[in-house]
Structure 1
Amino acid sequence: MEDVVVLNGYTAIKDALVDRSELFASRPQVYFLDLITGNGKDMAAVRWGPGFRQRKRFAYTVLKNLGMKVGRGSMEGHIREEANCLCSRMAEYKGQPFDFAHDVTVTFANVICSMMFGKRYDYGDETFQELKKAIDAVVIGLAAGQVISVFPFLRFVPGVNRVATDMFQHVLKLHHVLWEEISRHREHLDRKNPRDFLDFCLLEVDQQDKVEGLTEENVMYMAMDLILAGTETTAGTLLWALLYITQNPAIQQKVHEELDAVIGVSLPTLSHRSQLPYVNACLLETMRIRTVVPFALPHATTQDVKVREFHIPKGTQVILNLYSLHVDPTYWPDPERFDPERFLDAEGNIINKPESFMPFAGGRRVCLGEKLARMELFLFFSTLLQSFTFRTPEGTPPPNTDYVLGLTWSPRPFQVCATPR
C-alpha cells in the first residue's frame, strides 16, 4: 500500500499546477497506466526529467508545423471539411431520432489521424470500428481496473483479472494498427517532405537532433497517447455540449440568433470566434459543468514538498480533482445549472480565464493539444448549430445528464433529432 494525496479546490490545485508546477510534474508508478504506455515510453506517463521535456517540446513543435495554430498553415481548412462531412452525415437521418456518438467520434478521430498518419476514415470503416472499440475499452478499463493498480498481484487471479486481460488485448490491437502505420511510413518516407507526425518522428529517430535516444517504440507510444487523448476527450465534450443545448431550447435559440446575426447564411471560420461570445460561453460552460477528464492523469512529486500543513515526500502520487474547481459554489453559484452567461461580463464579452477553471489542467503537464481542441470544438459546434436545430424525439423526455465514468466522463447514450435550419 502507498499514500495518495488528493488536492481539492482552487487554492491547492493552482499551487500545484501553476505556482509550483515543477514540484508536482512527475508521474507515479500505476500498473494500468504503465501497461498501456510501455512503462513511460510515451509522453503522457514518462517520469519527470529531460526525456519528458524533450519529447513534449518536439511533439508540440511538430503538431504546430502540422497546423495546430491559427493563421497560415492552420488545420482550420481540414477541420471545416470534417465539420461539413459531419453535417452531411446528420442530414442523412432526415430529422429522425439517432444516436450520433459514433459519428462525432469518427469526425474527431479523422482530424487527429490525418495529423498522425495522413489518413481519414469513412463513418462505416471496419478498421475504425475496431480502433474505436479498442479506444473505448482502454479508456473504461483504466478506471474499472483500479483495484489491480492498487493490488497488482490480483492480475494473476482468474476472474478478478478479466479487466486487465481484456484491456491488454485491446492495447495490442492499438499497437498492431500503429505498427502497421509506422511500417508503411518507413517504407515510403520522403526525408525532404515529411507529411505527418509519424514522418517527422521517424526522421528524428534517424537523426537524434532534438530527442535523445528516441526509438520507433517511443514513436508508437507517443502516437497512441495523441490518438487516445485527441479522440475521446474532444468528442465527449462536443456530445455534452449538444446534450445540454438540446436540454435547454432557450439557450439554443440564443446561439442561433448570434450565429445568424454575425455569420448569416455562410459557415463559421476561426476568424468569427471573437465575434461569437455566446457560442464560446456555451463551450466553456460545457467544459465546466462536465469536466471530461475530472481527475486528470495522476501526478507525482519530484521532491519533498509541503502543501499547507501537510508534508508530501518525493515520489508521492498526487491526484488533482479538477471537478472540484468547477463545482465550487464560491466561484460558480448553483453549479449544477447550465448557464453560459457565467462566462460573459457585463458588456457581453467573453471571460476567457476565470478563476477556478482549468479544464485542460495546467503547468508542466498541461494538455498538449489544448489549442487544437479549442479550434475543433468551436468549428464543429458552431457549424452544427448554424446548420441544425436539435430537439428531443417526440414522446421522450429530454436527455439526462447521467454519465459513464472511465478515464473520461462521458454522457450515457442518448438520441436527438437534427432538423435542418
Structure 2
Amino acid sequence: MLTGRSPSTASVERARPDVAVIGAGPIGLAIAWRCAARGLRVVVHDPAPGSGASAVAAGMLAPVAEAYFGERQLTELLVASAARWPEFAAELTEATGAELGYRTEGTLMVGLTGDDLAEARRLWAYQQGLGLPVTPLRPTELRHREPALAPRVRGGAFAPTDHQIDPRMLVPALRTAAQRAGAVVVSQAVRRLADVDARVTVVAAGCGAAALTGLPVRPVKGQILRLRAPGGVTPGFRHVIRGYADGDPVYLVPRADGEVVLGATVEERSDTSVTAGAVQRLLRAGVDLLPDLAEYDLVEAVAGLRPGTPDNAPILGPLPGRPDVLAATGHHRHGIVLTPITADLIADLVTTGVPDPLLAPFGADRFGGVRVPSGAVGRGVPGGSELTTEEDLWS
C-alpha cells in the first residue's frame, strides 16, 4: 500500500517516485491525477504527450450503443464508468477551468434501409434485455428530434444516457490537473520496464504495452473524418447519430463550434495511412443519413490505432508475477468512456493494495502464459523506432 509522503520521508526518497505512469494519454494522465491528488509522488513518461490516437478519437461516451453480444461484463464496466462522467467532468473543470465539450443530448441509433433496421433492432433487443435505456422511435419521431435526417431513414432508437466529450479538450485538461496536483510529465520514451525506477509502475501505453509487458495488445486501425459546417455555424443536428447505411456502420458527432466527427473504420492493420476508399465509404454513409453534410467542408482525414485485446476488453491490474507493475491498457474502442473508472480503480489499487471486485474480469491472467519480456524495447527493435507510449484510444 502506498500513502502520501511526509515531508521528512519525501526528502529522503526524493529521487524515487511512488508511481511511474508510462503513457500520457487520457488513461495515463487520469491515473496520474488521481494518484498525485492522494499525495503520491508521480512521474509520467511519454515522448510526445497528447499526440496519440486520443487526438483522433470522437469522444463518444456510449455504454448503450457500444453494448455488443457476448460482452456483458464489459458493458457493465462501461455503464459504471459512464455514470461517473458527470462528476468527473465537473471535478476536472473545477480543477483546471477548462472547457471539455461535454454534452448530454443523447444518441440516436438509426437504420437507413429495411435490412439496416432489422440488424439494428436485433442489437437493440439485446441491449434492452440487459436493462439498458433504449427507446425505439418511428421515422416521424426520429425526424421530430432531428429534422435533418434523410427521409429514407426507416427507423431508430434513442439512448438518452449516451453522451459525448471532446478528447482534444480532455487531454490538455487532464495534463493540467495532473501537474497541478504535483505529477511530473517527462517527455521521454520508456524502452524497458527495467529502465523505470518507481515503487509501482503503471503501463498505460496503449499498443506499446505489448512490447513492454508481453500482453496480447494489438493495433486496430481506424480512419476518421472531420467536417465543418459552412460558415463555422453550429451543425444542423444536436444528437450523436449512430447507425447503419446500406450495411456500413457509421457515427456522426456534432460539436458546438461547427465541427462534425464522422467515423470510423475498423481494420486489422497497424499503419496510419488514410485511404481513398475509406474516405469515400464514410462520406457516402454519412451523407446518406444526413444529406446536408454534402455541403460541409472536409477539413481532416486521419487514422489512429486502437489497442485491441482478444476479447475486446481492457487489461487492468497487476502483471502475473509482478505485483509492482500494473496494466491499464487494451481499451480498444472504449478508452474515453472508461477513463474515470480506470483511473479510480488503478489509483485505489496503488494506494490500498486491494483490488476492487470490478477488476476481476479484466486481469492480465485471463489470457494465460503472459511473461514480461526482460529485454523488451519499442517496435522495430533492436535499434528501431521509439516506443509509442500514449494510450491509443478510440471511441
Output the TM-score relative to the length of structure 1: 0.23
More strand per residue: 2
Output the TM-score relative to the length of structure 2: 0.25
More helix per residue: 1
